[in-house]
Amino acid sequence: MSRRTDWTGILLAAVLGLVIVVPLVVVAIWAFAEVWRYPSVLPQEFGLRFWNATLARPDVWAAMSMSLRLSVTVTALSALICLPAAYAFARLDFPGRNWLFLSFLASHAFPKFGLLVAIAGIFLNLGLISTFWGVVLIQLVGTLMMMIWIPVAAFQSVDRRMEEAARDAGAGPVRVFWSISLPQAAPTIFAALMLSFVGTFYETEGAWLIGAPEIRTMPVLMITFINNQIVVQYGAVLSVLLWVPSFFALLFTRRLVGSQSFAKGFGV
């Protein structure tokens, strides 16, 4: 590898950093600003007034708890359904395997809103509109592709000889999956779980279309806030609140993926 300074890389990182970090910083500053008039670069007055106002609202707490409950439920269900399926895709050869596999991609290849409207129609007949489990179902569909495709790749990279050695030691297929394949694929599967959790937390269209008016998640609440009152700070405070799960997810992932045992999870 060349040891010269990679200017293109640095430039690219800088541009990406600007595009991603600057808006985030601006929003974060807005969340703590009380007076910020053009053309000043920084707010004239900082304060926690809008934080107090936002956090004092019961609907914010209700939405936060709803969002968390939804994300946990959806991710857990998704893992329960998708991980064994992904293992089957990775290890078994059954008729229609490739078609089924690609069909998960298809669910993401078309404009989502049309699909959502169609599903909403069905849910209306089933009485699932505006219920917790209705939203769970719709969001579950959204996680399927990620929770199939990423774990399939993870399972495929597990050394088959390890699984065979476990069979040899006396473990049946289920035990092999649980004790060998799953831990071996754990770092990647964990990343898929995190993506699914965070993705579900921020999912808006489905939650809004199926959940309204009873089920209000954080993003849906934020849209309502922004639509109803043009006070930038409310939106900013909610955004910063919304970052919290991402932030913890990132930290958690880093810790886990960075730790030696997980780094070595893929074999030596």
Partner 1 sequence: MATLSLSAIGKSFGGADVIPGLDLDIAEGELVCLLGPSGSGKSTLLRMAGGFEMPDRGTVRIGGADVTRMPPEKRPTAMVFQSHALWSHMSVAGNIAFGLKLRRLPRAEIRSRVEAVLELVGLAGYGARKVWQLSGGQQQRVAIARALVLEPQILLLDEPFASLDQHLRERMREELRDIQQRLGITTLFVTHGQDEALALADRIVVLKDGRIEQADAPDVLYRAPATRFVAGFIGTMNFLACDIRRGRADHPLFAVPLALPDGPAELAIRPEALRLTPDAEGPVRVRRVTDYGSHVLADLETDDGERLKAHCPPEARPAPGQRMRLSARQLSAYQQGRRAEASPAHLREGALHA
Residue from 115, 171, 195, 257 that binds partner 1 (CB under 8 A)?
171
Site string for partner 1, 237-266 (x = CB under 8 A): ------------------------x--xxx
Residue 70 or 166: the one with the smaller Cβ distance to partner 1 is 166
Quick check: 97 binds partner 1 (CB under 8 A)? no
Burial (CB count within 10 angstroms: exposed 0-12, middle 13-18, buried 19+), residue 217: buried
Site string for partner 1, 176-205 (x = CB under 8 A): ---xx--xx-x-------------------
Quick check: 164 binds partner 1 (CB under 8 A)? yes
Q: How far is the CB of 268 from partner 1 (least distance, A)?
A: 4
Could you tell me which stretch among 11-19, 20-28, 164-172, 227-235 binds partner 1 (CB under 8 A)?
164-172
Q: How far is the CB of 156 from partner 1 (least distance, A)?
A: 16
Quick check: 161 binds partner 1 (CB under 8 A)? yes
Quick check: 159 binds partner 1 (CB under 8 A)? yes
Residue from 122, 165, 244, 250 that binds partner 1 (CB under 8 A)?
165
What is the size of the binding site for partner 1 (CB under 8 A)? Answer: 24
Tell me the three-class secondary structure of 28-68, residue by residue.
HHHHCEEECCCCCCCCCEECCHHHHHHHCCHHHHHHHHHHH
Residue 204 or 259: the one with the smaller Cβ distance to partner 1 is 259
Residue 145 or 166: the one with the smaller Cβ distance to partner 1 is 166
Residue 115 or 257: the one with the smaller Cβ distance to partner 1 is 257
Quick check: 45 binds partner 1 (CB under 8 A)? no
Quick check: 95 binds partner 1 (CB under 8 A)? no
DSSP track, the chain: ---S--HHHHHHHHHHHHHHHHHHHHHHHHHTEEE--TT-SS-SEE-SHHHHHHHT-HHHHHHHHHHHHHHHHHHHHHHHHHHHHHHHHHH---TTHHHHHHHHHHHHHS-HHHHHHHHHHHHHHHT-TTSHHHHHHHHHHHHHHHHHHHHHHHHHTS-HHHHHHHHHTT--HHHHIIIIIHHHHHHHHHHHHHHHHHHHHH--HHHHHHHTTT---HHHHHHHHHHH---HHHHHHHHHHHHHHHHHHHHHHHHHHHSHHHHGGG--
Q: Which residues bind partner 1 (CB under 8 A)?
A: 159, 161-162, 164-172, 175, 179-180, 183-184, 186, 261, 264-268
